[in-house]
Structure 1
Amino acid sequence: MNPATSGRLVGSSVRRREDPRLLTGNGRFVDDITLPGMLHAQFVRSTVAHAAVTGIDLDAVREVRGVVAAFDAADLALGDISARLDRPLHEFVPTDMPILARDRVRYVGEPLAVVVARDPYAAEDGIEAAKVTYDVMTPVVSDTQALASGAPRVHEAAAANTLVDVAMFATEGIDDVFAAAPCVVRVRTKTGRQNALPLETRGAVAAWDAKEDQLVLHTCTQTPHQVRTVAASCLGLDERAVRVVVPDMGGGFGQKCVVGREEIAAAAAALRLGRPVKWIEDRKDALTASFLAREQRYDVRAAFDADGAILAIDADVVCDMGAYSCYPFTAGIEPLMASAEMPSVYKVPAYRVRGRAVTTNKAPTAPYRGVSRPQYVMVVERLMERAARELGLDAVEIRRRNVITEFPYTGINRITYDPGSYLESLDLCERVLKDEGWYDARDAARREGRHLGIGYSCFSERTGYGSTAFAARKMRVVPGFDIAEVRMDTTGAVTVTSGTQNHGQSHETTLAQIVADELGVELAKVRLHQGDTDRVTYGWGTFASRSIVVGGSAVHRAAAKLGDKLVEIGAHLLDAKPGEVERVPGRIRLRDAPERAVTYADIADAAYLRSHLLPDGAEPGLSAVASFDVFDDGTFSNATHGVVVELHEGTGRVEILRYICVEDCGVAVNPQVVEGQCRGGIAQGIAGALFEQITYDAQGEPSATSFMDYKVPTAWEIPDVAIHHLETPCAFTSTGAKGAGEGGTIGAPAAVLNAVNDALAPTGVELDDTPVTPETVQRALENAS
């Protein structure tokens, strides 16, 4: 589609409507909210990783100047956060997460008590006065220690410290396939524990609205309705008595799509004191005590025939999920994702996988942009590289021989892949790098003794997760559908409500584009409302690249229903039948006499102010509600990334010289927004590949408590990214769009790691773990020398 010639907004890079407000300082975030009589909360947190709590003395805290109150678990008597899978105990062990720890702490930073004061500084002073005594226990600080015989138990119910243990897709005769295969390669890899690091840390402002008899909780969450459900349960309130409102939000990346403990504790304190309470997470707590992600270990074998075709994959996946299951996804989120989707874009005839989630004395894990796909894509792409070397094949050619090319394709993992451009994206990415001369540059560099390398990753991103997909994981709380309402007022302006939740994805722009196109109104006439559980019927929020696929389709359906009502009323006002009129921008006109028309304002006038003019049976008003869900395997975006790096001897620095992304997310509602998602995701993927990691010492103390220790790449380290678009429209979404939120992050680690290994190829050294640090690279170069 060419927007310039079609006149349609979908497919056009219209300017983001959010930007003027945000760039001029008129955004309103949680920390901008100030209410009369508001108090400030912070948390007494565990200073040890694993211990029985023998005493919490808050008397001195309450004497600190400015402190109003201090509460521990016994004072507030709150319910626990309970996340469940409907699986037998040998597959899933539930671990309820208390809002405030009671008799036991399981990681450094676990909240034990909430201190409420007149200002944030007094709250911090109050924390320092708390006296907590412990009977310290041996912490479990790694997945290998967790699984070792005789290891201490993080939870008594979890034998071998295992919360999830599921064996899936065990193809009959797979061992015989490996035994007879001409080529078997193996990759063992470990990825570092990361923080999603949204620019805005978590926070909440809670207050009781006496007029509405309702708790109002302003918080930065990706899933406001789920926070409402859990808050009502933990606080012992009717769900009607809790209203969650999300103002502007500075990022989430999955960390905020689960329900945390602190916002509920702050709400409980507000109820107890009868005054508004604000909690804003400081950066130290955000780095150490917030939800973390990504620490995974893979041991994977792949069998190939002599021509390079995959015969089988056999995988063992272990994910370190920290101390508790998150709500609603549980500790199964990472191992189940990896197990179900590892075959990715390749035709794999035999497959066996075991996925485990182990519990350790670390902060809990939540989804983080990509959820296991950056890890398993990296593993599969390393298998491709290793097999190509063993068989004497080009690294791109072996992929070309294995990618799915006929659609729909049902894989060995029983997932059906809708049409995509897997081969086309691979070919284009390679062609761009060759045309730009990077292959010649690599050869010349090697002759000069420099270390230049080219790496690829070819992958898909499942973006249409509906109820069917989440139910397959046997989740007790099953996300999927979304609901939208589109309403027109007497001036012809349109208000849209959606259950998705914007936190940087440009929903105010893209969803308005969809509605404006469908109804034929100016973009400026459309306004979006999200993130208010009293205003939005219901919704699952924004995560897993679902907003355009699910939320956008619901919005489109609602707009189409409203359009039908405009046609019905407009035809009646023109003394015609609906089939005799047509909808054109801003009005309804007769097909045979287009000069005869009524405007939307005319129709709205009748719908609201002169309802006696409406056709029989037509209800007053102009609004429509629609829902959308995905009841099959969803849709898959796809991409190929190509990276050129140079390794610098003496410093071990990995310099990215070129980055190419060829992406296909179906119809791009706003191509500029898609490119922004790609670039942001790629930056986070590079961060995981080369920079970011939180480690723990033997006592379970986290290594990174500030940005002095947690290495975040800057604009200096992130290269310009050239993005090329392909378009395979989705058959079942209303706009033809697929999701685009996570693809950049998914593909980057594999492409960067493969480029590093290509640069190291003349030395005979290979690296499989991430992050790849300068120390690791320098050691490899020195060992090779």
Structure 2
Amino acid sequence: MSEPKMSRDGAFIGASVRRREDPRLLTGAGRFVDDIELTGQLHAQFVRSKVAFGRILDVDLEATRATPGVVAAFAADDLVMAPIAALLDRPFEQFRPTEMPVLAHDTVRFIGEPIAIVVARTPYAAEDGVEAARVEYETFDAIVSTDAALAHGARRLHDGAPDNVFVDVSLFDTPGLDEAFERAAQVVEMTIDSGRQNALPLETRAALAEWDERESQLVLHTPTQVPHLVRTATAASIGVPERAVRVIVPDMGGGFGLKCVVGREEIAVAAAAKRVGKPVKWIEDRKDALTASFLAREQRYVARAAFAADGEFLAFECDVVCDMGAYSCYPFTAGIEPLMASGEMPGVYRLGAYRVRGRAVATNKAPTAPYRGVSRPQYVMLLEQIMDQAGRQLRMDPLDVRRRNLITEFPYTSINNITYDPGSYLESLDLCEQMVREEGWFERQAEARAQGRHIGIGFACFSERTGYGSSAFAARKMLVVPGFDISDIRMDLDGTVTVTSGTMSHGQSHETTMAQIVADGLQLDISRVKLHQGDTDRITYGFGTFASRSAVIGGSAVQLAARALGEDLLEIAAHLMETNLDNLELRDGSVHRRDTPDERLTFEEIARVAYLEAHRLPKGVSPGLHATASFDVTNDGTFSNATQAAVVELDPDTGAVKILRYFCVEDCGVAINPQVVEGQARGGIAQGIAGALFEEVTYDANGEPSCASFMDYCIPTAMEMPDIRLAHLETPCIYNETGAKGAGEGGTIGAVGTILGAVNNALEPTGTLLERTPITPRAVHAAMTGGTR
């Protein structure tokens, strides 16, 4: 069978245009924060807590200040910085408001928490100054698990959260749930745990700040996914007008959600630069990135699911507990994981009744930020194991259990009050199964089992809600409500176009895909389009890039801006050519008459009139060629969907899991650049496999993290990655301008559940199922031999 081809409705949209970023990045011409050198530049590092939980009795920086090369050292009392406060508009019983100080001033709550900033002439002198600092603590017993945090009498991390709970919400409790369990033919009970992970972008966090005296402006270079939010938080913290802060993002080496929250270090560097009057640079080292940066994913789901005899999914109840670490991140708050999980289950499945409780719990660990997929990898893992177990208990094919319950009629309003736009949930499952069968893996599995080998096949069906608009975030009751995006577009005298977007690329090929949108919209060559991102002085406001929003929302704003500019070109041309608007069309970088196609005005000719011969413009048309447009999703957003499958083999001697083959059928609507979409899928699957089999941050009883280097934090290499076969379906989004649905997180969302399902399928003859990730060789070996995990 041939793989489905993507449609191509235009000269560039739908084409795998070569990435325009690659020549610069592959030849070493990229410009990252650490590449920027400013006159008089100083360097910063942080004095960090060496205890997980304690009261600061004294911070002695005298020896630090006397260290050769050190220019200044500041503790919390030396720099006036307001704390970072992430808030939800919910009552106290649902949300406990707490603050995160930029520098800890009375209490430390995790190892690695910043206490003071040291500014020196060289990075090495800054490190020497950090070593010379002396901090005296009154230490407390560290709280390193949610069970300990929730235990009666546990010491509180924050006065504002007396029970160590940041968020406790029960979003749904529909009538008839208990009755559905009573009449169910089978009840599946399951507890799923996932380990704590680091998003691990190639480029660590960084900041380079300088005070521009001429502009009375603090210029902050930092690799953030959300430059405007960093500007807002920085201005509020250091007490200057927002116009007095400019955030610039150069090239960025990955983000994955870790960089879509505001960090404390960036603000401290900005405040220190303003104080010393010279540029200050901070580059996070890998140890701090692994231990003291934002983490994610540590969650537990305790669930029951009720099924009828024919496999109908009758009812589902779940208790979700998320270990959010020591602080609530800005702007999403500690509710980011439990609210995502509670609000978006049951995913792609129809369901009769639903009850859920979601909690965000404070512990003495580095705080949690969004990470690619945000809870969806975990709840998809849960749901897919439930579907598999329901099949076993009902003696049905688990794929048929899925088919019995997949949403197939659209638009569909689920039990979670979310309306799903058209998708291809059943079609993706059918095609994925067909691909597995075509390659003979079910027959190979049967042959292998007859030989005593342990081969398993796992599937995961899921959706990815993308393009969250303002209404979706408002439903979470966030006081900072992301959603819209704004785009500016300008044509210069030579007919070239510069487009500015509020989104922020950190590897997603925006310079290529946004240019494709503009090139199609204006009917000019893509080489004549330039994209600007990551400068808060260039665009009114934007919410950056996360949750697969760039193509869905940012791309729609870009397309609307290009359309508005095209209308201006047509209006001027109609006046100059003395014809009606409907007799004109944009084509090949010109405006052509329809009745006499050879008669045209090039964009350069129109631009010359717009800029240099304004007296020839139509009455009421202003000089210049510039347009601005905004876009927001007013409904529940749009849903990409996919089905993934994996074939694994278990080594009975070592417990090692080898992935023999991987399949993915995804539908992200209109793929602006299919090659980019495939890259996103492959990269996402790799990160999902990492979470399924390799990566975990653990802590000892004193709150000491286990992974200070890559010697301890196990990340997969290319050798561990399987051969991935991809196929594409296309169900265009009906709610935006581009038809794109977003493709950034889908690969990761499905991979964890797919791998766990395959491992458990291989373990079926043993009668033991695993319910925790990462899946360790020790756990697999114990399951195969009946030993202790």
* TM-score normalised according to structure 1 size: 0.99
Contact 1:191 1:295 in 2 (8 A): yes
Question: Which one of 108, 111, 118 corresponds to residue 108 of structure 1?
Answer: 111
* Displacement after TM superposition at 1:227 (Å): 0.4
Question: Which one of 520, 528, 534 corresponds to residue 523 of structure 2?
Answer: 520
Contact 1:765 1:784 in 2 (8 A): no
User: What SS is found at the alignment partner of 2:182?
Assistant: helix
Question: Which one of 260, 271, 274 corresponds to residue 257 of structure 1?
Answer: 260
Question: Which one of 144, 162, 174 corresponds to residue 141 of structure 1?
Answer: 144
Q: 2:732 is matched with which residue?
A: 729
Q: Look up the equivalent residue of 2:184 and give its one-letter code.
A: A
**Are residues 1:157 and 2:160 paired?**
yes
Contact 1:2 1:11 in 2 (8 A): no
| Unaligned segments of structure 1, at least 5 residues | none
CA distance in 2 between partners of 1:674 and 1:773 (Å): 31
Q: Look up the equivalent residue of 1:168 and give its one-letter code.
A: L
Q: Look up the equivalent residue of 1:606 and give its one-letter code.
A: V
Q: 1:361 is matched with which residue?
A: 364
* Displacement after TM superposition at 1:576 (Å): 1.2
Q: Look up the equivalent residue of 2:171 and give its one-letter code.
A: M
Contact 1:764 1:784 in 2 (8 A): no
Q: 1:413 is matched with which residue?
A: 416
User: What SS is found at the alignment partner of 1:159?
Assistant: coil
Contact 2:6 2:728 in 1 (8 A): no
Q: 2:497 is matched with which residue?
A: 494
Q: Look up the equivalent residue of 1:374 and give its one-letter code.
A: P
CA distance in 2 between partners of 1:105 and 1:412 (Å): 42
CA distance in 1 between partners of 2:104 and 2:739 (Å): 47
Question: Which one of 452, 462, 465 corresponds to residue 462 of structure 1?
Answer: 465
CA distance in 2 between partners of 1:194 and 1:784 (Å): 27
Q: 1:397 is matched with which residue?
A: 400
**Are residues 1:675 and 2:674 paired?**
no
CA distance in 1 between partners of 2:107 and 2:153 (Å): 20
CA distance in 2 between partners of 1:370 and 1:159 (Å): 30
**Are residues 1:756 and 2:766 paired?**
no
Question: Which one of 223, 226, 230 corresponds to residue 229 of structure 2?
Answer: 226
Q: Look up the equivalent residue of 2:182 and give its one-letter code.
A: A
Q: 2:376 is matched with which residue?
A: 373
Deviates further, 588-597 or 236-245: 588-597
Cα deviations by residue, 1:348-382 (Å, 9 ceiling, x for unpaired): 11101000000011100000000000000000101
**Are residues 1:532 and 2:535 paired?**
yes
* Displacement after TM superposition at 1:3 (Å): 8.8
CA distance in 2 between partners of 1:361 and 1:504 (Å): 32
Contact 1:425 1:662 in 2 (8 A): yes
Contact 2:524 2:587 in 1 (8 A): no
Q: 1:13 is matched with which residue?
A: 16
Q: 1:266 is matched with which residue?
A: 269
How do 1:152-301 residues align onto structure 2 when only pairs under 5 Å count? 152-301=155-304
Q: 1:508 is matched with which residue?
A: 511
Deviates further, 586-595 or 771-780: 586-595
Question: Which one of 82, 88, 97 corresponds to residue 79 of structure 1?
Answer: 82
* Displacement after TM superposition at 1:147 (Å): 1.0
Contact 2:291 2:708 in 1 (8 A): yes
Question: Which one of 613, 616, 621 corresponds to residue 618 of structure 1?
Answer: 621
* Displacement after TM superposition at 1:780 (Å): 1.1
CA distance in 2 between partners of 1:308 and 1:709 (Å): 44
Q: 2:705 is matched with which residue?
A: 702
Q: 2:391 is matched with which residue?
A: 388
* Displacement after TM superposition at 1:5 (Å): 8.1
**Are residues 1:429 and 2:432 paired?**
yes
CA distance in 1 between partners of 2:743 and 2:411 (Å): 20
After superposition, the CA RMSD in angstroms is 1.2
**Are residues 1:584 and 2:587 paired?**
yes
CA distance in 2 between partners of 1:644 and 1:461 (Å): 23
Contact 1:165 1:356 in 2 (8 A): yes
User: What SS is found at the alignment partner of 2:78?
Assistant: helix
Contact 1:482 1:554 in 2 (8 A): yes
CA distance in 2 between partners of 1:760 and 1:676 (Å): 32
* Displacement after TM superposition at 1:61 (Å): 0.7
* Displacement after TM superposition at 1:784 (Å): 7.6
Q: Look up the equivalent residue of 1:180 and give its one-letter code.
A: R
Cα deviations by residue, 1:24-78 (Å, 9 ceiling, x for unpaired): 0000000001111111000000000000000000001111111111100000021
* Displacement after TM superposition at 1:168 (Å): 1.5
* TM-score normalised according to structure 2 size: 0.99
Cα deviations by residue, 1:234-264 (Å, 9 ceiling, x for unpaired): 1111111100000000000000000000011
In structure 2, relative to structure 1, the CA distance for the partners of 1:634 and 1:4 (3 Å cut) is closer
CA distance in 2 between partners of 1:585 and 1:50 (Å): 65
* Displacement after TM superposition at 1:596 (Å): 1.8
**Are residues 1:636 and 2:639 paired?**
yes
* Displacement after TM superposition at 1:173 (Å): 2.2
CA distance in 2 between partners of 1:267 and 1:162 (Å): 32
* Displacement after TM superposition at 1:6 (Å): 6.0
**Are residues 1:308 and 2:318 paired?**
no
User: What SS is found at the alignment partner of 1:589?
Assistant: strand
Q: 1:716 is matched with which residue?
A: 719
Deviates further, 10-19 or 532-541: 532-541
CA distance in 2 between partners of 1:621 and 1:157 (Å): 54
Question: Which one of 334, 337, 342 corresponds to residue 337 of structure 2?
Answer: 334
Q: Look up the equivalent residue of 2:543 and give its one-letter code.
A: W
CA distance in 1 between partners of 2:345 and 2:312 (Å): 17
Cα deviations by residue, 1:678-715 (Å, 9 ceiling, x for unpaired): 00000000011001000111111111111011000111
Q: 1:476 is matched with which residue?
A: 479
Q: 2:99 is matched with which residue?
A: 96
CA distance in 2 between partners of 1:737 and 1:241 (Å): 36
How do 1:657-668 residues align onto structure 2 when only pairs under 5 Å count? 657-668=660-671
Q: How many pairs align?
A: 785
**Are residues 1:780 and 2:783 paired?**
yes
User: What SS is found at the alignment partner of 2:646?
Assistant: strand
Cα deviations by residue, 1:579-625 (Å, 9 ceiling, x for unpaired): 22222221112221222211111110110010111000011111110
